[in-house]
């Protein structure tokens, strides 16, 4: 990844497994957990192939919300290691087959509490176990994504640096409205802090569509020196409704 970015290349990553498997009836919206990885692994492999066919340079393991806290909520905590390792091995198989980058993603823990050392020690343990499994399976880089608080994004970055055995870290924030984190840091400044603390790439993912993400990306570009990540959702968000969660059904 480093060499390609240094050579001025753009790296395309196509994903969105939760939405697509939900649309196809294999996941439940609301819980948003990736149990399809252990229930129908062959379908996960096919979807990786579909994203590669669509032009993705990266195969990202489907581990979004596949962490201990979310699996505990749905009564699947015993599947934690199996789910993560299965997801990683499926993604690695497709990535190596097509000579693509192989990535793993941590996501927001849902239990991070700013300033609460006890709660956040639990988050650190959750990140640690997933990172160690990713390293064992040979990922090319590690993503920390969909963070709302700079504090949690920084914790993910610290864990990747501590347990990731030198794997590059890509850290992205989910931007709501206004353009600040939930711990009151302007998002361009938050990205700068992450970059200065060792993130190889910083940027935005989820929440906003292309039209409402681009203006904020331009502000991030002014503050950050390195590569910028942008993974918008495929929704027609507007200045009035900047995130897909805020969109209203015109018929209701």
The reply to whether 191 sits in an annotated binding site is: no
- Residue spans of the domains in the chain: they are 2-246
Distance CA 10, CA 8 (A): 7
Judged by DSSP in three states, 120 sits in helix
CATH assignment of 2-246?
Answer: 3.20.20.330
Confidence category of residue 185, pLDDT binned at 50, 70, 90: very high
Q: Which contiguous run of DSSP H or E holds residue 14?
A: none
CB 201 within 8 A of CB 229: yes
pTM of the model: 0.95
CB 48 within 8 A of CB 96: no
Distance CA 170, CA 182 (A): 20
Q: Which residues contact 56 (CB under 8 A, 6 or more apart)?
A: 12, 13, 14, 15, 100
Check residue 4 and give its pLDDT: 86
Q: Which residues share a beta bridge with 231?
A: 205
Check residue 228 and give its pLDDT: 98
Q: Which residues share a beta bridge with 148?
A: none
Q: How many CB atoms lie within 10 A of CB 114?
A: 14
Average pLDDT score over residue span 160-186: 97
Condensed to tens digits (0 to 9), the pLDDT of residues 93-116 reads 999 999 999 999 999 999 999 999
């Amino acid at each position: 990844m480093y060499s390609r970015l240094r050579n001025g290349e753009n790296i395309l990553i196509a994903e969105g497994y939760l939405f697509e498997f939900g649309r196809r009836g294999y996941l439940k919206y609301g819980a948003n957990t990736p149990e399809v990885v252990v229930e129908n692994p062959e379908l996960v492999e096919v979807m990786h192939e579909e994203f590669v066919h669509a032009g993705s340079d990266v195969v990202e393991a489907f581990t979004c919300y596949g962490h201990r806290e979310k699996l505990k909520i749905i009564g699947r905590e015993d599947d934690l290691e199996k789910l993560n390792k299965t997801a990683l091995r499926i993604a690695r198989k497709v990535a190596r087959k097509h000579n693509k980058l192989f990535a793993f993603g941590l996501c927001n823990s849902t239990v991070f509490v700013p300033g609460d050392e006890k709660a956040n020690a639990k988050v650190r343990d959750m990140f640690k176990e997933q990172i160690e499994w990713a390293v064992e399976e040979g990922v090319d880089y590690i993503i920390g994504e969909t963070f709302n608080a700079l504090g949690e994004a920084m914790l993910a970055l610290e864990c990747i640096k501590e347990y990731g055995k030198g794997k590059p870290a890509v850290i992205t924030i989910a931007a709501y409205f206004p353009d600040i984190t939930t711990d009151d840091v302007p998002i361009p400044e938050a990205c700068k802090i992450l970059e200065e603390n060792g993130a190889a790439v910083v940027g935005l993912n989820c929440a906003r569509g292309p039209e409402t993400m681009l203006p904020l990306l331009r502000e991030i570009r002014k503050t950050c020196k390195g590569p910028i990540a942008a993974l918008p959702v495929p929704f027609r968000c507007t200045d009035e409704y900047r995130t897909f969660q805020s969109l209203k059904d015109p018929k209701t």
